[in-house]
Amino acid sequence: MGAVIIGTGMSKDSKLKSAIAHAAEAGKQAIEKAKIEATEVDVVINVGIYREDNMVEPAMAAIIQKELGINLDYVKASPRRAAFSFDLMNGGIGALDALKVADAMLQSDSAKYVLIVGADIHPSGMKASDFPFAEVGSAILLKKGTDKSKGVIASHFASKPHKFAGRTGMVKTKEMGTTGRSHIVIADAPDYIEAITDFTVTTTKEFMQKHSLKGDAVQLISSQVSASHVATLQDALQIKSSQNLFKDFGGDTHSATYGLGLHQLTKAGAMKAGEKILLAGGSSGLAAGCILYVC
């Protein structure tokens, strides 16, 4: 009885200059879609990486929780409910880790509702040509399922050492001086794109073989590490039913990818009963992950 999705949300309003605002807006939509109160949410997991002013602490999840009005004061809340929020950062596949964590929390009855949010934005709040990520937010709201054949069915994560750092984001404090809070440098190692694509293909193939998944029977949602990454995965995995879910966002949707993909499939009416959704991707490390979700 895997965790089931009861609401999704998307924020792409260009007027919002804050990753926190994008995540909160998407979270609000997911909660409204599920027809529950914000105060019923037990856990908020933020998977966003890049945020305004390069803020380091507190956890962005706590600020997003505040923006959503989720059980801000345990003593004053009625009934008294303690909400828990934390950041879980693993590049473009953090949401896959969060889905696994959320599923475990729901299966163990540690939570009734878990909200996963993700958004990235340039620390200056402005568009920057050297910032490859789309400034969007997404949200996924989950609860415990009642049918063991539906929801989060299986997952697989793998990692291996790599001679380079992969994709890194850094603030060069010596060079940037007092302007460091509004700057970020994104750099890819020489062979990162090829290495992570190959590793993601290998990891996903193993997962599909283990669970007897055929390419023509699944919808693929994948990380957007390069313009050709998804097409390469589709060809290698012989997945023919995937849709171009991210053509209108103008960049790598990064931490918001999986929430956006699920939201777009829902809007398109593609999340029909029995539909199999394969969420797969890779990130620096090298790290790769897969989750099978059955509607």
State the residue range of the domain holding 18. Answer: 3-148
> Domain boundary residue among 131, 148, 165?
148
**Same domain (yes/no): 66, 178:** no
Give the alpha-carbon dihedral of 163, 165, 166, 170, to 10 degrees: -160
C-alpha pair distances (Å), 159 with each of 156, 174, 203, 230, 281? 11, 33, 9, 20, 12
**Same domain (yes/no): 82, 143:** yes
**Same domain (yes/no): 88, 163:** no
**Same domain (yes/no): 215, 201:** yes
**Same domain (yes/no): 158, 209:** yes
pLDDT value, residue 86: 96
Q: Per the structure block, which two tokens stand in for 138?
A: 């997404």
* Predicted confidence (pLDDT) per residue in 32-68, tens digit: 999 999 989 999 999 999 999 888 888 999 999 999 9
**Same domain (yes/no): 86, 132:** yes
The predicted model scores a pTM of: 0.94
Instruction: Enumerate the β-bridge partners of residue 86.
Output: 45
pLDDT value, residue 67: 95
What confidence category does residue 243 fall into, taking pLDDT thresholds of 50, 70 and 90? low
Phi-psi region of 97 (alpha: psi -120 to 50; beta: other; left: phi over 0): alpha
- In this structure, what DSSP letter does residue 173 have? H
What CATH number does residue 178 fall under? 3.40.47.10
261 with 140: CB under 8 angstroms? no
**Same domain (yes/no): 97, 174:** no
Token pair 């979270």 is found at 27
Closest by Cα among 154, 183, 186 to 169: 186
**d(Cα 262, Cα 245) in Å, to the nearest integer?**
9
| Residue 209: burial class (beta carbons within 10 Å; 0-12, 13-18, 19+) | exposed
Domain count, the chain: 2
**d(Cα 84, Cα 107) in Å, to the nearest integer?**
17
* Predicted confidence (pLDDT) per residue in 205-233, tens digit: 999 999 999 999 999 999 888 878 888 99
> Domain boundary residue among 87, 118, 148?
148
pLDDT value, residue 284: 86
Helices (H), 135-256: 173-176, 192-210, 229-237
